[in-house]
Chains A and B, each alone.
Chain A
Amino acid sequence: MIAKTVFLSLMAVLMASQALAVNYGKDDLTYKYYIDINSQSKGMLTVTKEQDSFHSEYFGVTAEDRLPFYSRKKTGSYRDGVYATSLSFDGDAFDIYYEKDKAPKGVDEYLRGDSSQKAIVWNPATGRPRLSFDRIPAVTLENILLGMLNRSFKVGEYYYLLEGAKNAGLRLYCEKEESIPAEAGSDVKCGSASYLFKRTNVPGEPDVPLFRVIVNKDNVPLKVVSNSGRWGLRLGGISQGVQTVEFDQNSALVIMAQKDFRSKALRAAGNKADFSDFDFKITSQNGDIVNYGFQFKASGFVFEDDRGLAVRLLAERIHGYRASVDSGLAKSLEDDSRGYYVEVENDDVCDEYRKSYSSGKVDKRCATVIKERSLTVPQEELNKFAARAYGCDPGSLKYKGAWMGSDKLICTSAGSEQKIELQAALEAYLAARADIKGATIKDYEAYEAFGDRYDFKLVLEQQEAVNSRELDYEAGKLLTAKVTGKPYASKVQGLKDVQFQKIGDGYRLSVDRQAVARYRSDLSVAACKQMAAGLGAKSPMATDLPGDACQVSGEISRNVREAVKALEASIYGEYIDLKLMGKTIDKNRNIWSFDYLSGFEGFKDACY
């Protein structure tokens, strides 16, 4: 990752000097294809086009991979864009003649049948033929790729695929497909057309698809996929020959260490910070250990605007912890010159309050509420009260329940029996209680408590003025829901930075602009300190700066030997061609260099 930037920068410099006009058929261009075998990237093919000729080379694959067109090295010349006239497979060279009179003398001695309709593959080393076949263009895979590129390969015409490892070829042709099949071209970004190549001429058998070639709008073959899926080619670059990449090891190590460090800092910042004034340099070296001192400014930890931040602040204060907040809630916030707020009307608060009681018990403006309460009056207490109130003889008072055909208290008074309605007695009792004022009996019941003694359980109704704290509580719930999306009963009064107010016809929860600014700064500094702590540096230090920036400084150490190994691994990882081509990095003291076939750097507006 580190080396990528280092060397892509180097490559960019190299390539800048040789930017090309988009001319794919141009001579001396090398086309680089990565080879997949059974969906695994295995090797590489380079095809270099020259004037009416090509040379190609295969890397990372062998004959055991059974690529039907494999030869370690091929060269070839051609005419009319696609007719192979000479081919060499790993040095095994052949000429191809399409007209008998242009073939070497004596060819007739070997040919059979009508030799005027033959193409002849001639071995100049032995002075003898190798093959003869019907007079159609002989091609290799490379001829097909270049023939498509220069638009010489024709749809529907027959070609004789002649690959070196085989002593006979096969006849094929291609069809343009209506669209690029998804299974073959889903990963091709700039595919424009797909051509399906089929084998033909096997008597008694239908034509069989072999492979397809997907090209871009400029007819550059981007991908070749075997119909069986066993092998495939992917275009990996077009370049004007090999470039030498050279750099100083020590400088690269410093750059790599810095890049490593920056990545680490960014990760420590949760991938959301901007760095500036980055200073990173060697401060000392002790054997294999190199110490790097660093200093930089960081900002941008807090990316929300003030409105979003105000919602976060309110939510954090209400819930007591830093929770994630739905950013859409910021829209419900209103603002004025002093700050941001949400409001709720009295009627809404009253409705919310009313939900706490039975319907109709709270008046329209939430001024009063009729509350229910229960009261148990033991018979002894009622008897004591009734004896006094109704002048009963001591000990004569008895309760005769409804089940005995009555619901009355009965006593004797001056020798005569007196019957007292129980409800009247209870009402008189209530009226006499100093601690219960304004209550009426909604219901009552007599329960047998012990023996023939009873308790009287009353349900009372009592009108009260609504307690404003209860209304505040309901207002707080509604305001909390507006700010946090969670209608939990929360405390909203007495919170730091947050004002809860009763206003004209409602309630307001607000935070002023200064508090938001302070909150931003607090968040920034906390994030910066957290980042500094996560850097694994010796004596990391973070100090806050004006605004939401902070400054970080400290020191880290790296082992040179390990860094060199990492540098080397990153180069091989980034420039995969090196391993495929069996090349190593040339190290001459501190100067490292390697040859590399570039990608598409010269084709700025092209699409692959």
Chain B
Amino acid sequence: MPAINRTALVLVCALCLLGALASSADAVGEKYKYVGFASMSNPQVEGNRAWNQRFSDLTKALFDIKYSSFTRVANKLSLSGFRPKTLSITSEDGDEHMLRPHPDNYKAIDEFHEQVGAMGEVYLSGVCMANSANVLIFDEMPPQYKIDDFVADSMDLLDVRIYAYYKDSNTIGYDFLDLDKPVFKDYSRLKKMMHAKIIQVLEDVMVNQSSLDVSVDPGDGTPASAPASDW
């Protein structure tokens, strides 16, 4: 068994255990739908401190903007049933790490993205359960060669990927933030672009989740679908 798969299996089992515990928390009355966030891995360009700093700022800003935009989007859509949370995983070292951009978490964040790449929805489903989250939103940079090409001026656009994983349908949705070089020199503009994109992603996630929501048959003769549901 390849090392990565063996590790993944251990992790998924651990996640499932956490998930079971979280489910029992659900059962005692947790009413909210949680949208969990995970930071992207901090991109590195060898020997280029300026770009590394820019990417580091980008990583942090992308994560923070999700939190700062969440309530605004929920209010705009009049959806009070959603809550944001930072995802956490139990990494290989056995410690639990939050997946927010901080030097202490970089290794766990890298591990998260490695497992997503290797196991995809199987892993994401486990993370969802472990975190009692309904949707996961995480970002990824393009492959390293594309980053290098961008920095080396061989490519005009850097397409940052924003993934949304929906637990209830085992689906991954894709969104993209296309950044050109000049925008990295205008931080205000970069933040605006990120803001606009994150708001759109959050809107999509919340609208999608609420419109597809179908409550379980209460067994008392009332219709199964919640009144607010489109179904």
Contact = CB atoms under 8 A, between A and B. Distances in A.
Interface of A: 66-68, 109-115, 126, 128-134, 160, 165-171, 199, 201-206, 208-211, 226-230
Contact of B171 (A131, A208, A226, A228): A131
Given A129-B174, A131-B173, A227-B231, A113 B120 contact: yes
Interface string B164-199: 101111111110100000000000000000000000
A203 B217 contact: no
A109 B143 contact: yes
A378 to B, nearest CB: 90
> Which of B23, B26, B118, B231 lies at the interface centre, i.e. has the most chain A CB atoms within 10 A of its CB?
B231
Contact of A113 (B123, B129, B171, B231): B123
Given A115-B120, A168-B208, 17 more contacts: A68-B230, A109-B143, A129-B174, A130-B174, A133-B169, A133-B171, A166-B212, A167-B164, A170-B168, A170-B212, A171-B169, A171-B170, A206-B217, A208-B225, A226-B231, A227-B224, A228-B223
Given A169-B169, A169-B171, A208-B217, A110 B161 contact: yes
A562 B128 CA distance: 68
Contacts of B172: 112, 131-133
A471 B81 CA distance: 94
A67 B230 contact: yes
A211 B231 contact: yes
Which secondary structure dominates where chain A touches chain B? loop
B231 A230 contact: yes
Contact of A168 (B26, B116, B143, B166): B166
Contacts of B230: 66-68, 230
A248 B23 CA distance: 72
A131 B166 CA distance: 11
B231 A168 contact: no
A351 to B, nearest CB: 65
B53 interface: no
Contact of A112 (B117, B142, B207): B117
Nearest to B20: A204
A166 to B, nearest CB: 5
Given A110-B161, A112-B120, A112-B172, A204 B23 contact: yes
B122 interface: yes
A113 B23 CA distance: 25
B65 interface: no
B225 A201 contact: no
Nearest to B174: A129
Contacts of A227: 223-225, 231
Nearest to B214: A208
B152 interface: no
A203 B168 CA distance: 6
A112 B23 contact: no
Nearest to A206: B216
B121 interface: yes
A228 B225 contact: yes
Nearest to A208: B214
The 8 closest A-B pairs by CB, nearest first: A113-B120, A228-B225, A112-B120, A68-B230, A202-B168, A133-B171, A167-B204, A228-B223
B224 A209 contact: yes
A501 to B, nearest CB: 73
